[in-house]
Amino acid sequence: MGGASVGGGGNQKRFTQCSKELEKLLQEDRLSGAPLLLLANKCDLPAPYPAYDLSHVLDIPRIREERSCQIFNCSAISGELLVQAMTWLCDEIM
């Protein structure tokens, strides 16, 4: 089992909300230890928030102490990096 979460990578104001939702997700017993894929949507915008910076806002290093976790910039409109992201999740589950 694995989990995926999508957030708007173009809206810094939503990062606090995304962080709170992520913490709720991490408390789910049924997802304990499951790999976690985070998609930072809207990388097609002129100035998207880089996945690297977002990983620090969401404290990804701490999450990686308990489970496999990866964050990908992506675009739901163009499909950019979605295949790579899903491939990563499938590889982690297998």
Which amino acids are annotated as binding site for GTP, given as ranges? Answer: 41-44
The encoded tokens of residue 31 equal 């997802």
Q: For residues 34 and 76, is the Cβ–Cβ distance under 8 A?
A: no
Binding site residue list: 41-44
DSSP letter string over 36-93? EEEEEE-TTSSSPPPHHHHHHHTTHHHHTTTS-EEEEE--TTT-TTHHHHHHHHHHHH
